[in-house]
């Protein structure tokens, strides 16, 4: 029975590799989004002479939005892989991102939520710049969604802070963490 249990545990632990193709798929998605960025940038360059300042600003905000989504993807790909699949051996790599030093599931969630708030803010700003072409109901729902994202992120960050503080206190009192 002990051999069966050991075998089952190895299979369960190895199942984390099922996520690896998902991260590879996200890398392909990031490449597609990079293509979208290049197309948008080319369009801005070609039409800059005929564009109003408002149109140019909306185009630049679109580039910022694409950049933020790509940053989100990179966090999910690297952070998710390192947290849930396999450790990345990057201790001595000169380009290792600082946030990767202390990544865990909770920190990753807070960073992702913060990125979503930033993306939501860009969309809201684009609506405000283009407000004459938007109906009030649409903007109202964007504001509500943004506030929900913001509140959720703050609560998630506060919860993580409490959890990390309680783990630190347990460690300082000499008790083992469970």
- The tens digit of pLDDT for each residue in 15-44 reads 999 999 999 999 999 999 999 999 999 999
Residue reference for tokens 């509140």: 151
149 close to 116: Cβ distance less than 8 angstroms: yes
Confidence at residue 38, expressed as pLDDT on a 0 to 100 scale:
97
| Phi-psi map region of 75: left, alpha, beta (phi>0 left; psi -120 to 50 alpha) | alpha
Confidence at residue 106, expressed as pLDDT on a 0 to 100 scale:
81
160 close to 107: Cβ distance less than 8 angstroms: yes
79 close to 96: Cβ distance less than 8 angstroms: no
- The tens digit of pLDDT for each residue in 45-100 reads 999 999 988 889 989 999 999 998 898 898 889 888 888 898 888 888 888 877 77
How far apart, in whole angstroms, are the C-alpha atoms of residue 74 and residue 129?
Answer: 29
Confidence at residue 176, expressed as pLDDT on a 0 to 100 scale:
47
Which phi and psi angles does 173 have, rounded to 5°? -85, 0
Cβ atoms within 10 Å, residue 145: 13
* Model pTM score: 0.73
Among residues of the chain, what percentage have pLDDT more than 90? Answer: 47
Confidence at residue 54, expressed as pLDDT on a 0 to 100 scale:
87
Mean pLDDT over the full length of the chain:
87
Confidence at residue 50, expressed as pLDDT on a 0 to 100 scale:
94
Confidence at residue 1, expressed as pLDDT on a 0 to 100 scale:
85
Dihedral sign from CA coordinates of 138, 140, 144, 149:
positive
Task: Give the CA distances from residue 91 to residues 94, 99, 149, 176, in Å, rounded to whole numbers and listed in that order.
Answer: 9, 13, 33, 27
Domain limits of the chain? 2-172
């Amino acid at each position: 029975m002990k051999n069966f249990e050991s075998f089952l545990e190895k299979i369960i632990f190895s199942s984390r590799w099922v996520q690896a193709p998902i991260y590879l798929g996200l890398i392909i998605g990031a490449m597609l989004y990079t293509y979208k960025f290049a197309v948008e940038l080319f369009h801005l360059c070609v039409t800059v002479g005929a564009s109003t300042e408002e149109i140019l600003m909306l185009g630049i905000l679109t580039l910022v939005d694409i950049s933020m989504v790509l940053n989100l993807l990179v966090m999910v790909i690297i952070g998710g892989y390192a947290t849930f699949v396999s450790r990345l051996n990057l201790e001595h790599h000169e380009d290792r991102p600082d946030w990767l030093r202390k990544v865990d599931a909770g920190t990753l969630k807070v960073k992702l939520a913060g990125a979503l708030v930033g993306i939501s803010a860009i969309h809201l700003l684009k609506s405000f710049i283009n407000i004459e072409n938007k109906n009030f109901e649409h903007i109202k729902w964007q504001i509500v969604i943004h506030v929900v994202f913001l509140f959720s992120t703050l609560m998630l960050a506060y919860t993580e802070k409490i959890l990390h503080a309680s783990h630190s206190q347990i460690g300082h009192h000499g008790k083992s963490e469970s």
